[in-house]
Amino acid sequence: MLTEERHKVILTALSQKEIASIAELMELTDSSESTIRRDLTFLENENALKRVHGGAALLKKKFIEPSYDEKLIQNIDGKNRIAQYAASLIENGDCIYIDAGTTTYEMIKYIDKKDIIVVTNGLKHIDALVEKDINSFIVGGKVKAQTKAIIGVDALNRIQSLRFDKAFIGINGVHKKYGFTTPDTDEAVLKEAAIKFSVEAFVLADKSKFGEIAFVKVADLNHATIITDEEADEVARYKEKTKIKVV
């Protein structure tokens, strides 16, 4: 089978089932494992798919964003490990920013420091912070119902007026070439500002976010340390671009 034909078969298979193993693709194309691996590497570099452990997956649509409730039930174990480690980085005396998002929300239950200040744009976050008697501020602005985030010019102006010891950011896409990305322009500028005005910035990204590209760039990979939940081949390849902590 010609190379172009194999590529078409691979992409057709992914369009039908979203994810396929190397073994399945070998059988479909009657090709060797090394050939399929080369094909997947080529197609990934062309942004036609993303490599996952043992195979490949279809890229998500760049402008589509799951709702908060949909995200809440995805990769629960991984999110909890990431959240627990992220919370352990907080020290007494810190002024921190916690971005809206489901993984950052999970951080709050693990925070065990009281002598801190937390700023957030997460509607869900503020109740959890108040219940833990943590000195907290919520930025003002427009409410985005889908992600339970506060966005807009007022929120951006407030973040730009503050300085943080640490920022913890949720993200939709982590890509070697295109950096950190998210579907929404308004949320992207807030994430970018929080990273810019923090001494240390951490992006909380489970393994499903690697190789994905959303609509709007937030920052280059070297602007933040990534905290993730699995040491897989596709994650290891990002270590040349930035610091990664696998938990």
Tell me the CATH number at 35. 1.10.10.10
Q: What is the CATH number of the domain that holds 181?
A: 3.40.50.1360
Query: Model-level pTM?
Result: 0.76
pLDDT confidence tier of residue 153, bands split at 50, 70 and 90: very high
Residue 62 domain-assigned? no
Q: Is 217 helix (H, G, I), strand (E, B) or coil?
A: strand
Residue 121 domain-assigned? yes
**Number of domains observed in the structure of the chain:** 2
* pLDDT at position 72 over 70: no
Kindly state the average pLDDT of the residues 138-154.
93
Tens digits of per-residue pLDDT, 86-119? Answer: 999 999 999 999 999 999 999 999 999 989 999 9
Residue 208 is predicted with a pLDDT of 83
Regarding whether 141 and 100 lie in a shared domain, the answer is yes
Regarding whether 97 and 47 lie in a shared domain, the answer is no
Regarding whether 25 and 126 lie in a shared domain, the answer is no
The residue that leads in pLDDT, 203 or 70, is 203
* pLDDT at position 24 over 60: yes
Terminal Cα distance for the chain, rounded: 42
Give the domain extent around 49: 3-57
Regarding whether 91 and 53 lie in a shared domain, the answer is no
Kindly state the average pLDDT of the residues 242-247.
92
Regarding whether 74 and 126 lie in a shared domain, the answer is yes
Q: Are 100 and 123 a contacting pair, CB within 8 Å?
A: yes
Kindly state the helix (H) or strand (E) to which residue 31 belongs, with its residue range: none
Regarding whether 214 and 167 lie in a shared domain, the answer is yes
The residue that leads in pLDDT, 66 or 76, is 76
Regarding whether 124 and 12 lie in a shared domain, the answer is no
Regarding whether 112 and 26 lie in a shared domain, the answer is no
Residue 112 domain-assigned? yes
Mean pLDDT of the chain: 89
Residue 128 domain-assigned? yes
Residue 73 is predicted with a pLDDT of 52
pLDDT confidence tier of residue 71, bands split at 50, 70 and 90: low
Regarding whether 50 and 74 lie in a shared domain, the answer is no
Residue 63 domain-assigned? no
Helices and strands in the chain, H and E counts: 10, 15
* pLDDT at position 74 over 70: no
Residues 6+ away with beta carbon under 8 Å from 167: 96, 97, 98, 99, 194, 195, 197, 198, 200, 201, 202, 224
Residue 234 is predicted with a pLDDT of 65
Regarding whether 110 and 168 lie in a shared domain, the answer is yes
Residue 52 domain-assigned? yes
